Amino acid sequence: MLRRGALAGVLAGLAAAVAIWLLVEPVIRRALVIEDTRSMHGGQSAGVPMHGGGEPLVSRSAQVVGGAVTSVIVGVAVGVIFAVVFARMRDRLPGRGDFGRSLVLAAVGFGAVTLLPALKIPANPPAVGDPQTVGRRTTLYAVVLLLGVAIAVVVPMLDRWLTTRVPTPSTRWTLDVVATVVLVGLVLVLVPGTPDQVPADVPAAVIWDFRLASLAQLGVMWLTLGLAFGLLMERAGATRPADARADAGAPVSA
């Protein structure tokens, strides 16, 4: 199962890299134009590191390749964690077969690890962001991410507790949804927002295009991970009976 998770993670990382190239990179280049214009007028660039000659220390092409490699590495790590969680929650996940359960787990992962943090601490393009607030932004993002994971753990525990007390499934599912909405609302209201302010020279279209592209890239990763892992698990389940019959018919050696 870990091997299937790693393989699905590779495919998810590759899909995310393609999404970065097609969706995120064009918006980043628009933001870098704003940074270049700002630098020409004496402003400080908050994007690519610069040396004394004014040229980037790392070319944009190298950054794109490095981002693609990082996406694959992250995909493998997420895939392995996904497989571990799936193995522990397999009997409690809703859905038809391992394919359906894999899609459900991927949807939960996207909501807890990606969507909730993106709603509270949205991603910003290179032209937005103060280097002095990086630590605070990272801390807030990590807090929201951990709270999202906690919600993903607490709600199934609540559902199991309600199973013995609420016999009607529709009522139990309604209570699960209400609990999820309340917990998510508390996170959005109580956790402080991003400390950064949007500069006046950055169009709103660039910011929203970048945020939507970043969210779509991560959505592609989770969707590919759920589909690939589910298909691999279904394939393993389909071949296991044949293997078992072959082993049963094989002669036993002394």
Contact of 20 with 67, CB cutoff 8 Å: yes
Q: What is the pLDDT of residue 29?
A: 87
Q: What is the pLDDT of residue 172?
A: 85
Please tell me the distance from the alpha carbon of residue 178 to that of residue 63, in angstroms, as a whole number: 43
Sequence spans of domains, the chain = 1-41+59-128+198-235, 129-196
Q: What is the pLDDT of residue 252?
A: 43
Regions of the chain short of the pLDDT cut 70: 39, 41-58, 238-254
Is the pTM value of this prediction over 0.85?
Answer: no
Contact of 117 with 141, CB cutoff 8 Å: yes
Q: What is the pLDDT of residue 58?
A: 64
User: pLDDT tens for residues 3-15?
Assistant: 999 999 999 999 9
User: pLDDT tens for residues 154-187?
Assistant: 988 888 888 888 778 888 889 989 999 999 999 9
Mean pLDDT of the chain: 83
Q: What is the pLDDT of residue 238?
A: 60
- Full 3-state SS string of the chain: CHHHHHHHHHHHHHHHHHHHHHHHHHHHHHHHHHHHHHHHCCCCCCCCCECCCCCECCCHHHHHHHHHHHHHHHHHHHHHHHHHHHHHHCCCCCCCHHHHHHHHHHHHHHHHHHHHHHHHCCCCCCCCCCHHHHHHHHHHHHHHHHHHHHHHHHHHHHHHHHHCCCCCHHHHHHHHHHHHHHHHHHHHHHCCCCCCCCCCCCCHHHHHHHHHHHHHHHHHHHHHHHHHHHHHHHHHHHHHHHHHHHHHHCCCCC
Q: What is the pLDDT of residue 45?
A: 43
